[in-house]
Structure 1
Amino acid sequence: MLLTKYSHACVRIEKEDGALVIDPGTLSETGEVLAGADAILITHEHADHFDQEAVLAALAATPSLPVHAPAVVADALRAAAPGTAGQVHTTAAGGTFTTAGFSVRCLGGQHALIHPSIPVVANVGYLVDDAVYHPGDSLIVPPGVQVQTLLVPVHAPWSKVAEVVDFVVSVRAPKAFQIHDALLNESGLAFTESHIARLGAQHGTDFRHLAAGDSVEV
């Protein structure tokens, strides 16, 4: 499979059977990443992971395009464009499905806590082909599976470096790449990633930085 990193939390995964896009948000290059996509996965409702206008445009342009998302996101899409309701599918933790030639496991269930005063929303992480794991806004370790490629949320209002490192160490994927990085400047990102790379390597994980637009075989 070919994985392409886009800005912030968005990635595109491609193989012979199709192209899968995860979390095309308002901080990402949605026009580019959604062009020719065969399926879209949304982890949760926050705008940096879900650009509703861009997803609705993609649904309208391609009547066969499926979108898989938690109930709040799925309901919002159906309400905004009732004619596309058959293209929109609700996901929840524990579920499995196949889309665009990819097998997908749904993990987690809720967004990481930002602050006790802020309600926790649904968040579904996706394990694609039992190989690539996108956790959305959570640090949930997949049970009973050896992840091959881990997408690491390196910085967020709900995390700290120690928690991110512990996540990488617990998953122990051979390969890891950063996501959720748009809120840091270059200095902050380099500082944070140096800790993740150094400590992850002690437990068998090769963590590397991907610039927006970079692709890698996974």
Structure 2
Amino acid sequence: MTIEAVVFDLDGVIIDTEEVWEEVRRGYVAEHGREFLPDSQDRMMGMSTGEWSAHLADEVGVPRTAAEVASDVLGRMAERYRKDLPLIAGSVETVRALGARYRLALASSSARVLIDQVLATSGLTGEFEVTLSTEEVPRGKPAPDVYLTAVARLGLTPGVCAAVEDSSNGLRSAAAAGLTVIAVPHGVYPPADDALAGAALVVKAVTEVTPEAVSNLHR
């Protein structure tokens, strides 16, 4: 099928924030006398706000409610974004180039407040017809909910949409939703082999996701 729309992830694709998220959350947890579990970082990549805040409160043991944890951490993240937005080199240009040829949507695990801040700061707000946070759907990644909802809001079917993802949970989410998956593996937090196996195209940098590359995708 011919691809009609491209659905972008945000963290790790447009902005390089996984290390910022880890630094902020580890610091926050440490302030409360707790430590990440061995698999906390991997598990939280792709989780919705409600899911990762519950993990920190209920499993890591931060003595705050999940809602309080979310509010505390999101406030710190928004402040970091206002001071210094860690855009991935070439990501803004890539989005605009694809937007000239394809319809665009955004399906992110970030909270709505952070999505809106990033798009406003980067000048990309007008590029996306649909922007969606996993906090606005029943389940976060790796469940397919956010991709299925984004595609539905475009008025399309998954079969004519491509997804651009970096993390294991994001790749699994897009594949489970039935989109053609383009993987941009993160250098510090590479996806698991099984998640990467579901990608139709694997690139080394988001700048390789050109209109020509998308048009050459075959299902």
Fold shared per TM-score above 0.5: no
Structure number with higher helix proportion: 2
* TM-score normalised over the length of structure 1: 0.35
Q: Which has the higher contact order (CA 8 A, sep 6+)?
A: 2
* TM-score normalised over the length of structure 2: 0.35
